[in-house]
Amino acid sequence: MTTPFPFTAVVGQDDLRLALLLNAVSPSVGGVLVRGEKGTAKSTAVRALTSLLPEVAVVPGCRFSCDPLSPDPACPDGPHEGGGGGASRPARMVELPVGASEDRLVGALDIERALAEGVKAFEPGLLAAAHRGILYVDEVNLLHDHLVDLLLDAAAMGASYVEREGVSVRHAARFLLVGTMNPEEGELRPQLLDRFGLTVEVAASREPDERVEVVRRRLAYDDDPAAFAARWADEEAAVRQRIVAARELLPSVRLGDGALRQIAATCAAFEVDGMRADIVMARTATALAAWAGRTDVLAEDVRQAALLALPHRRRRNPFDAPGLDEDKLDETLEEFSDSSRDDDPDPDGDGSGPGGPGGGGQPEPDEGPAGDGAGARPEEGEGAPAPGGGGEQSPVRAAEPFRTKVLSVPGIGEGAAGRRSRARTEHGRTTGAHRPRGALTKLHLAATVQAAAPHQRARGRSGRGLVVRRDDLRQAAREGREGNLVLFVVDASGSMAARQRMSAVKGAVLSLLLDAYQRRDKVGLVTFRGSAADVALPPTSSVDAAAARLESLPTGGRTPLAAGLLKAHDVLRVERLRDPARRALVVVVTDGRATGGPEPVALASRAARLFAAEGVASVVVDCESGPVRLGLAGRLAGELGGSAVTLDELRADSIAGLVKDEQRRAA
């Protein structure tokens, strides 16, 4: 067995360690979501926590970890007699792989025995193994939607239900949910986000001395894990004893009316939805007091609880960074403090407020992406309207985004689960049946009975059960929705540099990015200007990253349209190798001009026909403006085998709806 990295040997990351320890003291806090860049000890700290948790008393032989003092009366391995001493085992951390199947998560029934013998032969899944322990999901933001739904159900009810063709099994599933994620790879659904009690943002230290210590400890651990762990054994034992003491003190901690009013006022001030935030803050503040060895909850506990429990619950737009305005938090706590009058001995709290650079009651940042304010002056001119372009223009702010209609790729795919285009999936409405290829996951009962019925006499059926063989089983064919790759190819040349026009273009693309966020698509961004094209953002699930790259996009120079299309074609070729099942939609945002280099128009035409030959769904957003229009974007759309829409039409009806209509007619 591998020796885990000691929890107390983790350098820095104070908020992360505190959040994990609070859940160890009070599992009712509800788990932790750890957000941060790669290489910041997220997984290391979570895995190290397990060795600090007290042992768990279980009923001997129970696969579902029933408590001997109060066993689950509906346990599939029961009934158990209550009041027994039971046996003890170390606390368990179960890891849920991102690509796990539904059966691996909730367990599986033996369908053949269930049909033929009426026996509930059940093989427990990861939810059963995690009961009364930790369920850890690394890269939780990449978890498939159907697994997220199952986690939400289990977390809400404290139990897992497995129902398969009339056969039902239920078992307790109360666990501490811990997830780690890199926000650059995509965000979480709000429903799952709210199920995490606390959230922590982590980042690598910029202090050279601290970074040196991280490297020194990691190298020492890699050289001899057992010896390294032994050097930290005393610190680990001290923290373990402190957790036990805090657990024993927890029932004695008093949460007064004053602290409750501060909690309620804070949640109201930050406009969080529902009442879960209030409850989590109360439990967290109580756990903080117990961890500090106190029996009263203080204002400092409420403040720390807010910083851990509210950032992921406050209302914000999808592209807004999470976090709290600490000045506003301090003002709210002060207003509802029992000692808020002039005799308050510590009007600034415990000294841990913002109070640093940038404080002093500054308003919250604007909800739009940061910029230099240039986008607020559309009257500054049309930039460089000539085809040859001009010098580089500073980035402009995107116009206000708008809601789009559903954009979908024609036909039926087999890509990753999502909410956009039609696809054959493991979930959705049943459309037919076929022989299973590999393990049976979704039984089509009627087709199975129909296949087995003609052979009952030959198989010597005599009792009530149906004699079912492996060859009789039929897999249900289902149709649901998939996520697609939406690849934006944006013209950033001088002919696009007019501020009003580029602001509208960015607003349109931002609207589609919002739609992609909601429908769980991957997005990519290719830009072209001057003499070349660049992959501003490789295909990713993080629409936040795409929005940031879009906002900082400069313009100017010639229009290498062929280079942009060829770069996009190359991106799609590589992405097909990585994810062959995911279908793509290419959105080209341009006025259709092609300048620079020999035969730029002919080269662009040949590049466009590559997409048409491969059947790639595409749409051209025509950004040409002025009283005289050349129709170059429409000609490009024809060569791509797609459709074109002007910016005016985009504002009126939205690109998504027009693309869908055009593709429906083409199909």
Distances (CA, A) of 226 to 11, 106, 223, 250, 252: 19, 35, 9, 34, 38
| Helix (H) or strand (E) segment spanning residue 629 | none
Helix%, strand%, coil% for the chain, nearest 5: 40, 20, 40
Class of residue 483 by CB neighbours under 10 A (exposed 0-12, middle 13-18, buried 19+): buried
Helix (H) or strand (E) holding 653: helix 647-653
- What backbone torsions phi and psi does residue 295 show, to the nearest 5 degrees? -110, 5
SS3 337: coil
DSSP state of 350: T
DSSP structure string for 252-264: G-B--HHHHHHHH
The one catalytic residue in 170, 276, 294, 316 is 276
Radius of gyration of the chain, Cα coordinates, nearest whole angstrom: 29
Torsion, CA 549, CA 552, CA 553, CA 556, rounded to 10: -160
Residue 366 near residue 360, CB atoms below 8 Å: no
Alpha helices, H only, 233-387: 233-249, 257-269, 276-291, 299-309, 326-335
> Cα(170)–Cα(124) distance, rounded to whole angstroms?
10
Ramachandran quadrant class, 135 (left: phi over 0; alpha: psi -120 to 50; beta: rest): beta
- Give the separation between CA 449 and CA 59, rounded to whole angstroms: 39
Quote the CA–CA distance of 619 and 650 in Å, as a whole number.
Answer: 12
The answer to whether 276 is a known catalytic residue is: yes
Nearest to 266 by CA among 342, 312, 323, 334: 334
Question: What's 90-112 look like in SS3?
Answer: CCCEEECCCCCCHHHHHEEECHH
Could you list the active site residues? 276
